[in-house]
């Protein structure tokens, strides 16, 4: 953004410092001047970077207000007086969408002369490298540069009936000022007359109602539009204008009459007159949440407590706080109970201010951060770890030991990723005013970010990558956002070579399964198993390969899912290399205590081995078998594991649709040598459990 210092000094005549010092002082207060260019007798040109929350400073008058506050000077009021008008009828304005348009003003100018701009307007446009169009159009652009509120001029003779603020009709067409005919969406707000849409509200005017050399009568519009609606229309039609840039960040609700008067003054300088009074339609609900917000309590003592000591022994005084806040546009009312307590009414142009802490930040900013001592604020409490800090440390240490590298991804994801990766359909939270379509939703899962990081590695020729991220995911709704911790991990490429005779091998599902097993083994549990569901069941995440993925279950609770990335998702992300990814619900895992290794005296008695040969249907996973044996709680059972698995597609050795499983058990007592009757009884309990799990003894 370009700012002329000569223009600033007209608004604050008492500035005594040089342009270079002014640039430094503004930058120290967060109004960044990135370049100062000498214009000779015209002063300097500031190249500025204004943050998105400071729409009030995206103009000359707003920056002049900052300068006046910094130096304790008087800001000159804007001259809005108009020549005496002639009587006329009230121009009809109807707001059919009060949620999208909170205020609309209309002023009729008749007998105007349309000609090229000259004088100060033309000179300042030349210095700012702005394109000159005509005195009427230039007036609206000039006022936007001057005090920040966008306006628009319509050719009044091209309008039929009054102005209507409504949603666009389905399939309605509008040729905008850039000459492009656009098909409007029913979510678009338009400024229309009784016949057609005249402008895409807050974004761009229409071709058919534009001001031309033949224009004799003008309708000057100044309005306030809902920021979210303007941003969506701007993004939908791929139009970014000075007007949309300001409206979508929250314009000043009270600036409309001032902007309308300034534009009208410039146009009437070439001739013409105002007819009737300005029409001003206000929606009370919009005014209440912008210009008429409730006052907030403010204490100078609280400001001193938070900001700490200053280089000046006097510190932040009540007088200094009053001067700064009043200069920024706040109205202070001192409370009876204390000379340092106030009720503060916020200015209509500072929608970024909402609470006492915002006022304290403004005081610190204008007072000067460099004027505070380099000391830490007082702290009376103690550092308290989060309840799951120890568990998180174990997870991080284990993953690093396994060769994974920790990474951090964005908290925001695209709506498409949120819908595809949300644990429950629709359980994600969209942002009211996102920075971009690619970051419009709070992430409901860490998996999209993990895939993005793996993709970035592959696109930069890093073929072997193993990453993990521990972070927060979000669910619920906009009204009530729920946060929970989660863990995501992903691997791709190949494992490292372990010698000349052991070349590197491509990573597989079992490498990822080993990572999950190592993690879950760190937590105390009675039973851990893995299973999966058929793809058509809808019970497995859609972003995982239906036949190469698994669910991790601890003591009956689902802890997460992992496996190979679904081919459709890989194609969507243009991934040609196989990716293995997973996510663990840490809020559930943290309910398990950490496993603490304990030394146990070795038994002095002979272990006994028993084998069990059973046939199971293919529908019976090994997890069910393992669970059935663990549920017996046999203290003498030291180990139980499969020794041989046999399948026969011909059905000669094992029936088709079944598999033969040889299970080996090691039994050992710490109290004495196990007798035959004990062994038989234990073996019978194991066989009964295997029968109950769906198996039959192999003959």
The H or E element that residue 343 is part of is: strand 341-345
Report CA 305 to chain centroid distance, whole Å.
32
Tell whether 362 is in a known binding site: yes
For the four alpha carbons of 195, 198, 200 and 202, in that order, the dihedral sign comes to negative
Q: Please report the sign of the dihedral spanned by the C-alpha atoms of residue 455, residue 458, residue 464, residue 467.
A: negative
Burial of 65 (0-12, 13-18, 19+ CB in 10 A): buried
Question: CA-to-CA distance for 355 and 441, rounded, in angstroms?
Answer: 26
In the chain, the N- to C-terminal Cα span, in Å, equals: 86
Buried/exposed 248-271: b ≥16 CB within 10 Å, e otherwise: bbbbbbbbbebbbbbbbbbbbbbe
Distance CA 284, CA 216 (A): 35
Helix (H, G, I), strand (E, B) or coil at 400: helix
Distance CA 175, CA 205 (A): 9
Beta strands in 477-527 (DSSP E): 481-492
481: how many CB neighbours lie within 10 A of its CB? 11
**Cα 365 to Cα 350: distance, rounded to the nearest angstrom:** 15
Helix, strand or coil, per DSSP, at residue 649: coil
CB 275 within 8 A of CB 85: yes
Can you point out the beta strands (E) in 631-695? 637-646, 658-667
Q: Is 417 annotated as a binding residue?
A: no
Q: Of all helices (H) and strands (E), which one includes residue 326?
A: helix 318-327
* The residue count for the chain: 699
Question: 17 near 34, Cβ under 8 Å?
Answer: no
- The answer to whether the beta carbons of residues 226 and 99 sit under 8 Å apart is yes
CA distance 411 to 143: 38
Angle between helices 300-307 and 356-367 (to 10 degrees): 60
Please answer whether residues 413 and 448 qualify as being in contact, where contact means their C-beta atoms are separated by less than 8 angstroms.
yes
Do the annotations mark residue 361 as ligand-binding? yes
Backbone angles phi, psi at 68, to 5 degrees: -65, -40
Neighbouring-strand partners of residue 696: 615
Q: Is 312 annotated as a binding residue?
A: no
Side-chain-side CA neighbours of residue 119 (13 Å): 10
What is the β-pairing status of strands 163-167 and 93-95?
parallel
Return d(Cα 226, Cα 365) in angstroms, integer.
29
**Sheet with 412-413, edge to edge strand ranges:** 412-413, 441-442, 429-430
The annotated binding site is made up of 352, 358, 361-362
Residues flagged as binding site for Mg(2+): 352, 358, 361-362
């Amino acid at each position: 953004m370009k700012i002329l210092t000569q223009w600033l000094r007209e608004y604050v005549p008492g500035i005594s410092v040089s342009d270079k010092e002014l640039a430094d002082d503004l930058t120290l207060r967060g109004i960044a001047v990135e370049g100062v260019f000498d214009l000779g007798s015209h002063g300097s040109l500031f190249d500025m970077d204004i943050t998105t929350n400071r729409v009030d400073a995206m103009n000359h008058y707003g920056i002049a207000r900052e300068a006046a506050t910094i130096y304790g000077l008087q800001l000159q009021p804007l001259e809005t007086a108009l020549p005496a008008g002639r009587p006329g009828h009230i121009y009809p304005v109807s707001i059919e969408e009060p949620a999208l348009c909170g205020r609309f003003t209309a002023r009729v100018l008749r007998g105007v002369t349309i000609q090229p701009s000259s004088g100060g307007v033309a000179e300042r446009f030349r210095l700012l490298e702005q394109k000159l169009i005509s005195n009427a159009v230039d007036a609206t652009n000039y006022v936007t540069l001057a005090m920040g509120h966008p306006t628009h001029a319509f050719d009044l003779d091209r309008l039929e009936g009054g102005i209507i603020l409504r949603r666009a009709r389905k399939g309605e067409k509008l040729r905008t000022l850039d000459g492009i005919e656009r098909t409007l969406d029913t979510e678009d707000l338009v400024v229309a007359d009784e016949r057609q849409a005249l402008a895409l509200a807050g974004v761009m005017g229409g071709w058919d109602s534009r001001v031309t050399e033949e224009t004799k009568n003008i309708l000057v519009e100044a309005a306030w539009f809902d920021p979210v609606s303007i941003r969506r229309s701007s993004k939908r039609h791929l139009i970014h204008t000075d007007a949309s840039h300001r409206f979508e960040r929250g314009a000043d609700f009270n600036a409309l009459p001032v902007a309308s008067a300034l534009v009208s003054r410039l146009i009437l300088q070439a001739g013409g007159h105002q007819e009737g009074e300005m029409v001003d339609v206000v929606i009370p609900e919009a005014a209440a949440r912008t210009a008429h917000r409730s006052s907030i309590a403010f204490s100078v003592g609280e400001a001193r407590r938070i900001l700490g000591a200053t280089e000046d022994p006097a510190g932040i005084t009540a007088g200094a706080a009053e001067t700064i806040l009043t200069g920024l546009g706040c109205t202070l009312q001192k409370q009876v109970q204390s000379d340092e307590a106030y009720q503060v009414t916020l200015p209509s142009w500072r929608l970024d201010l909402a609470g006492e802490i915002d006022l304290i930040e403004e005081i610190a900013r204008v007072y000067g951060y460099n004027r505070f001592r380099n000391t830490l604020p007082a702290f009376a409490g103690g550092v308290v770890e989060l309840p799951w800090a120890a568990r998180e440390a174990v997870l991080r240490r284990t993953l690093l030991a396994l060769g994974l590298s920790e990474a951090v991804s964005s908290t925001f994801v695209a709506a498409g990723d949120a819908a595809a990766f949300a644990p429950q359909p629709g359980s994600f939270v969209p942002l009211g005013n996102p920075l971009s379509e690619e970051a419009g939703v709070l992430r409901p899962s860490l998996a999209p970010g993990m895939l993005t990081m793996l993709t970035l590695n592959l696109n930069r020729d890093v073929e072997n990558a193993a990453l993990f991220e521990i972070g927060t995911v979000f669910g619920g709704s906009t009204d009530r956002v729920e946060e929970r911790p989660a863990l995501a991990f992903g691997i791709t490429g190949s494992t490292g070579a372990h010698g000349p005779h052991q070349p590197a091998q491509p990573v597989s599902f079992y490498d990822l399964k080993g990572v999950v097993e190592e993690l879950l083994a760190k937590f105390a549990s009675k039973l851990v198993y893995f299973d999966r569901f058929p793809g058509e069941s809808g019970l497995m995440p859609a972003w995982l390969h239906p036949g190469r993925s698994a669910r991790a279950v601890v003591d009956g609770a689902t802890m997460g899912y992992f496996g190979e990335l679904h081919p459709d998702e890989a194609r969507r992300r243009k991934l040609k290399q196989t990716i293995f990814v997973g996510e663990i619900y840490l809020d559930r895992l943290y309910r398990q205590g950490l496993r603490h290794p304990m030394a146990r005296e070795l038994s002095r008695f002979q272990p006994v081995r028993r084998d069990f040969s059973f046939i199971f249907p293919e529908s019976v996973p090994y997890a069910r078998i393992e669970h059935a044996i663990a549920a017996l709680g046999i203290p003498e059972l030291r180990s139980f594991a499969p020794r041989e698995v046999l399948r026969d597609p011909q059905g000669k050795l094992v029936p088709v649709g079944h598999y033969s499983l040889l299970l080996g058990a090691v039994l050992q007592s710490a109290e004495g040598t196990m007798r035959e009757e004990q062994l038989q009884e234990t073996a019978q309990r194991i066989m009964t459990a295997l029968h109950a799990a769906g198996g039959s003894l192999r003959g």
